[in-house]
Amino acid sequence: MEEYRISDDVYEQIKDFSFRNLTEEQELFVDKLILNKEIKERYKESGLCKGCKQPKTTVSWCQSCSSKRFQEEFKNWTSGNPEIDKFIQSIQIKANKEQIIEWIEHKNFENVEYLASI
């Protein structure tokens, strides 16, 4: 299933609108330009992302751009275990603002207490 996206043309026409304070005329214009109900609601609730030119997931979060940034970093880290790497990467791609999982190198931890030996 293909994700609906607003076109660059639509972005250019509404990018300067204040999504929180749309005039009646602007709201009617947005309703005509953005046909997908979910995308339209996201725009009206959260505004546009300047990075990907799509409605943000929340006012301060763009899931699409965050997912892309995580994917660009996949090559720069590994846990040493491909299964754990795959798990973390799949979570990062789908993460929302409250669910971010980030890889932190063991050497960056201080005062590690080992509770059991393997």
Is 29 part of a structural domain of the chain? yes
Does 72 lie in the same domain as 51? no
Within this chain, do residues 45 and 90 fall inside the same structural domain, yes or no? no
Note whether residue 113 is domain-resident.
Answer: no
Tell me: do 14 and 37 sit in the same domain.
yes
Query: Is 12 contained in some domain?
Result: yes
Encode pLDDT of 60-111 as tens digits.
888 889 888 888 988 888 888 899 889 888 888 887 766 666 667 778 888 8
Confirm whether 109 is domain-assigned. no
**pTM of the model as a whole:** 0.69
The boundaries of the domain holding residue 77 are 63-104
Q: Which H, E and C letters describe 23-76, residue by residue?
A: CHHHHHHHHHHCCCHHHHHHHHHHCECCCCCCECCECCECHHHHHHHHHHHHHH
Q: What is the DSSP string of 4-19?
A: P---HHHHHHHTTS-G
Q: Of 1, 97, 93, 6, whose CA–CA distance to 43 is shortest? A: 6
22 belongs to a structural domain: yes
Say whether both 3 and 47 belong to one domain.
yes
